A and B are shown apart, each in its own frame.
Chain A
Amino acid sequence: MSSIRSSLASARGLGSSKTGVTHWWTQRVSAVALVPLTLWFVACIASQFGAEYSSVTDWLSSPFQASLMAIYVAAVFYHSQLGLQTIIEDYVHVESAKLALLIGLQLLNILLAVAAIFSVIMILVGAA
């Protein structure tokens, strides 16, 4: 550090932490939620393995099961968004490519999560 500028000045702009510990904290909260949700999901999928359409729609016609599935989808895509964002930030150092990937990732995750949750709702109300 040969400059007489303070280290705070060089940390501003691209170097700041922007949102503080929000990323770290929400990743941990979604991880905690995903522990029981994953065990529930695996148990359901294992018992539904190779099952017919009607048995899957029967399962998701229960409001409780449909709610768990919607929460699971939301938690999965949120946790996945945070994880992949970190990986892109770690390995992609060209600013334009990094921004494009981060924006694309976020939009894709929102699209998939919303479409999956709407599908669960359609099965729940018997519109599927």
Chain B
Amino acid sequence: MSQQANRPVSPHVQIYSWPISMVTSIAHRATGIILAVGSVVLAIWLIAAGSGPDAFASVNGFAASWFGQLLMFGWSFALFFHLCNGIRHLVWDTGVGLELETARLSGFVAIGVAVALTLIVWIWAFIA
């Protein structure tokens, strides 16, 4: 027992240089929680639209404020990341792409595509 107590302990998450697969795995769960909160906002938005113009105007007014837009920007990135990384998980479920180097590369691709889609959608939203 005393022998075990003196053994070196594994470094904790603050010490590790996070591999990309670790980042995307934790981020997938974190963005899932963010999106669950976002789905409550989606429901409130639809219920307000179903309740009439006045209710809709107050919800839309908040969404159009700088804070509302900031939330929606963060939400859109969480959505795109969860979408891209989710597709990565679905591909893994078929047994494809699990090699270390392929999984590392697809992690960067998921983040890159999510950033690109977020920027494209916001540029589109402001131009259209």
A and B co-occur in one complex: yes
Given contact pairs A53-B57, A57-B49, A119-B50, A112 touches B43 in the complex (Cβ within 8 A):
yes
Q: Which residues of A contact B128 (CB under 8 A)?
A: 46-47, 49
Determine if A84 and B36 form an interchain contact, defined as CB atoms under 8 angstroms apart: yes
CA distance A62 to B55 in the complex (A): 22
Given contact pairs A42-B79, A46-B125, A116-B43, A28 touches B90 in the complex (Cβ within 8 A):
yes
Q: Determine which residue in A84, A112, A116 has the highest number of CB atoms from chain B within 10 A of its CB, and name it.
A: A116
Residue interface mask B25-68, A partner, CB < 8 A = 1: 00001001101100110110011011111001100100010000
Determine if B47 and A116 form an interchain contact, defined as CB atoms under 8 angstroms apart: yes
Any B CB within 8 A of the CB of A31: yes
Q: Which residues of B contact A120 (CB under 8 A)?
A: 46, 50
Q: Which residues in window 49-97 of B have CB below 8 A to A?
A: 49-53, 56-57, 60, 64, 76, 79, 83, 86-87, 89-90, 93
Please classify the interface of chain A as helix (H, G, I), strand (E, B), loop, or mixed, using the class held by over half of its residues.
helix
CB distance from B64 to the nearest CB of A (A): 6
Q: Which of A6-14, A73-81, A93-101 contacts B (4 or more CB under 8 A)?
A: A73-81
Interface, chain B (partner A; CB < 8 A): 29, 32-33, 35-36, 39-40, 42-43, 46-47, 49-53, 56-57, 60, 64, 76, 79, 83, 86-87, 89-90, 93, 121, 124-126, 128
Interface, chain A (partner B; CB < 8 A): 28, 31-32, 34-35, 38, 42, 46-47, 49-50, 53, 56-57, 60, 69, 73, 76-77, 80, 83-84, 87, 112-113, 115-116, 118-120, 122-123, 128
